[in-house]
Chain A
Amino acid sequence: MRIWQEKFHREADTSGISMRTRLLLYWFFMALAVVAAVLAILSAVGVLSHSARQFSESLTIQQQNTTAVLDSQMDELMAQGVALSEKLGKELDAFLAGSGMAFSELNDDPNAIAALEQRLYTPLNSTLSAAACSGVFCCLDVTANTGLEEASSSRAGLYLRYSGLQPTVASEQNVMCFRGIAEAARRLQLQLHNRWNPELNLSLIPGSEAVMASRDGRLAERCLWTERVALSDTWEKVVLLCVPLLDGSGTVRGFCGLEISDLYFSLSHAAVSSPYGSMVTLLAPVEGNSLSLAGALLGGTDGSRLTAEGTLHIKEGKYYSTYSGGRETYLGTHQLLDAATSDGVPLAAVTLVPDSAFRQQERNVRTTWIVGAAVFLLVMLALAAVLSHRFVRPINKSLAAAKGGTANAVPSGIPEIDEMLALLRQRTTDALPPNIEALLHSFAEKADTLTGTERSILQYYIDGYAIKDIPELSYISANTVKTHNRNIYRKMGINSFDELKVYIDLFERCGRSGELLHKGE
């Protein structure tokens, strides 16, 4: 008994995790669960998401790039336009000098115009090859037939443009004659455009009259960007840069310039992928709070449904502006460039992202937070449940064992509990009333006087056998059993088998059955 108790105490001291540590772990997981729940709630209300700020940062970087690229492209085109004007002016002077004609004598002389156009082809074509544009043109303030009704708006000129623009390098492009004398085009081995005409129609080029009417100032200051206009009978729309064309005396003899078509712009400015949706580049007239999509050149529109139709109303926000009014709402930003259309509306570099794409991304981020927090919460709750279950199970086992009064106590694995149970057990043992303890002690001492056979018979009774079972178990007769019983009763100081069973039961309930036959061993 003492050996076992010592052993029990020793195990209680060293085995298992202490109750304190277990409680600490349990509360730690509970605390984490509470944190997860708080995170989930904060995520759901959007306190934790910084999508708008992060989107604004991405947008700003893209807008800076867009502005720089468009600014540089427009600057270069203006420089090339001015250079083209100067080259064409020299060619015009040389042609007139060589042919001995006055400029006005070109009127009603298709052959002379064709010859001049042939001469102007080289600077035009070299500019087309070098510049970031889809076409070049020159328009002379003369016409092949002044007798025609529409003669006042029909002006001779050569307009070259890429046909079936390919998304590839300029050298691979197919140059066609969109406007110009057919004979000149054939001599130049140029294919006529399917919607070719010999002359340009000034009424279709907004601002052209203003350019031709300009008298003073440097060429760069007299350049003008047209609105986005349709190329007649084609599916394309273009923006034209018009530069006055001067002869040697500084007289305006027409205008020349470069073309940027919708298609060219779209192929040159691909949409940029971002976590918030495709970022689309626009070159658009912006007046006050209105952005004219109908007048805008759109970059690649992959990932959006943006089309060059209608007007967008701009509403400025903390992180970005909202552009609404079309089929979709867009988020983005814009910056005015140092350029304006022929009607004086400033042009802006614009970066737009579909609102739906951004909102979807925002939802995705929020969902990820909520789901993450929820999963974390679930795991923490599960861990707390498992821990509490494992925490309680050995205690229950140990208590059940203690309640059952089994001889061997079941350790709980928790030092504090085991120690407490051991103390209770010890206290229970020590607390027997002295007369009972003396009675049990005296009874156990009397058992020492039994012979070997009597002891083995007593053992059978302790094991729960009845008197009638003994002859068969001990290979003796019933009378011999009676004799042994009488001797046992006598030696133990009792009078009947029932009294013996009371003592055996008492010893067993006290967990001391072993003392009956093993005392002194």
Chain B
Amino acid sequence: MNKLKTRLAALAAGLLLVVCLAGCGNKTGEPVTVSLWHVYGGEVDSPLNALVEQFNSTVGAEQNIRVKVELVSNTNIIHKSVLAAANGDPGAPALPDIFVSYPKTVLALPDQDVLVDYRDYFTEEELSAFIPAFLQEGEIGGRLAVLPVAKSTEVLYVNKTLFDRYAAVSGATLEDLRTWEGLYALAERYADETDGKCFFVHDYHFNYFQVGVTSLGEDFFRDGGVAFGPAFQQAWEPYARSALKGGVWLQSGYATEPLRTGDAIVSVASSASVLYYSDTVTYPDNTSEKVEIITMPCPVFEGGEKLVMQRGAGMCTVKSTPEREQACMTFLRWLTEPERNTDFVTELGYMPVTQEAFDQYLPAAVEKLTDPMYISLYQAYIATQQDYSFYTAQQMDNYLDLETRFETLARLKLTAGRALYLEDGGPAEALIRDALEEFKQDYDQ
């Protein structure tokens, strides 16, 4: 009888084990697929896409995770799409699992709680590997909402082939491009001597003023808006003068565009735009010319502080299921491992985000570079790090609005001013003042 009881108990235990085991595990064996919207290589061959493929075929395959790139664009388009999705706009897509974002996008979200706090997933030890200033930038409302994966700064790109050609007849030197005053003076001269041809293009006029005014010792922002103080006027005058004469590119779009067509020679843009610069200029008659593109540290104002904008968005992860969130973290940990992070960023013109990557891997990675454009970029980057302080944009709810209106209005006012200048052909001083007044008036409305 006892034997029978023991056997029955064993049978029951065995069956229970089978039932429990049958209930465990992934029901269908499908990989956990997480979507990614990023900016690393929009429109061109994306190094991050290749890394994603590498992740999917290694760690992803082992852990049954698949990262799927759904959008490669720029931060403005991602900002727009994320807000549309978060607000549930008609026709808007669902939020991706991971997206690249500046803090301004997070601040503009209707509910920031849709994003995970990375502190819930990364240990203090893991986070301590990141450069503190980069982490600090992603702190929003006491939560670490933006994880840095790559950082950049603004640099000066020069089409040296065309510059040398002009220098040969004008006596201009690259030293003229060290200061804003020198650069704008050269742009003015170039426009005068070439019947109004453009010399210089800046990707972000807003950044020029923001960093410039701060470097001159004044606050750029005041009461949630822009403080139009004396330093602003100091920055406006050379910029507006050369713009009215045609030396500054006022059309929308990125700085790479007029350099690609030979319509400008010098630009200030993110170090990350190196991926989009081409060493070929194509002219209207369909002829092309190989050129040399070099990079220099961003110009500064004479007597001003050597200050430069720190750029580079980070990754936000949208709350979903613990399984998906964990999959996102696995991918982000993998991407920010020092050696891999270094390889990733040096393909794109960025800086790594961990101290170990900076100290141990970056110097060797820079030495391995073969593309002259990238070599020049990292030389400029190292010089910038040595000589400049980095400026981080303020976290303001209306930052994007201030930026967008500034970019549009500044270009519009100066385009109108240029038309008047071409019409009258008289001295530019009055037009510069008028354009500024009109700009201030319309911007404050």
Contacts and interface: CB of A to CB of B under 8 A. Distances in A.
Interface of A: 110, 114, 143-145, 148, 154, 163-169, 172, 174, 176, 181-183, 186, 189, 191-199, 233-235, 263, 266-267, 275-278, 301-305, 307, 354, 356-357, 359-361, 364, 367-368, 370-371, 374-375, 378, 381-382, 385
B71 A361 contact: no
Nearest to A278: B30
A172 B91 contact: yes
B28 A357 contact: yes
Given A144-B285, A164-B71, A193-B43, A304 B93 contact: no
B68 A168 contact: no
B45 A371 contact: no
B303 to A, nearest CB: 37
Contacts of B53: 307
Interface stretch (B11-19, B167-175, B353-361, B388-396): B11-19
Given A154-B286, A168-B93, A305 B71 contact: no
B44 interface: yes
Contacts of B46: 235
A271 to B, nearest CB: 9
A169 B91 contact: yes
Nearest to A389: B1
6 contacts: A163-B43, A164-B78, A235-B49, A304-B30, A357-B28, A371-B19
Contacts of A164: 42-43, 71-74, 77-78
B257 A304 contact: no
B173 to A, nearest CB: 29
A194 B285 contact: no
A357 B30 contact: yes
A360 B8 contact: no
Interface of B: 8, 11-12, 15, 18-19, 22, 26-31, 33, 41-46, 49, 53, 56, 61, 66, 68, 70-74, 77-78, 80-81, 84, 90-93, 251-254, 256-257, 260-261, 263, 276, 282, 284-287
A167 to B, nearest CB: 4
Contact of B282 (A166, A198, A364, A368): A198
Given A163-B42, A193-B43, A234-B44, A145 B28 contact: no
B284 A378 contact: no
A234 B254 CA distance: 17
Contacts of B42: 163-164, 194
Contact of B251 (A143, A169, A186): A186
Contacts of A114: 284
A235 B33 contact: no
Given A163-B43, A194-B42, A277 B30 contact: yes
B27 A378 contact: no
Contacts of B81: 166-168
Given A166-B71, A168-B81, A195-B44, A302 B286 contact: no
A305 B12 contact: no
A360 B15 contact: no
B43 A375 contact: no
Contact of B22 (A166, A367, A378): A367
B286 A199 contact: yes
Nearest to A360: B29
Contact of B73 (A166, A193, A275, A303): A166
Contact of B66 (A110, A305, A382): A305
Contacts of A307: 53
Contact of B253 (A192, A198, A305, A364): A192
A362 to B, nearest CB: 11
Contact of B30 (A193, A235, A354, A368): A354
Contacts of A364: 22, 27-28
Nearest to B32: A303
Contact of A360 (B18, B26, B70, B72): B26
B8 A174 contact: no
A171 to B, nearest CB: 8
A100 B299 CA distance: 51
B261 A168 contact: no
B286 A198 contact: yes
B276 to A, nearest CB: 5
Contacts of A354: 29-30
Nearest to B256: A194
Contact of A181 (B26, B80, B260, B284): B284
Contacts of B27: 360-361, 364
Contact of A375 (B19, B33, B80, B285): B19
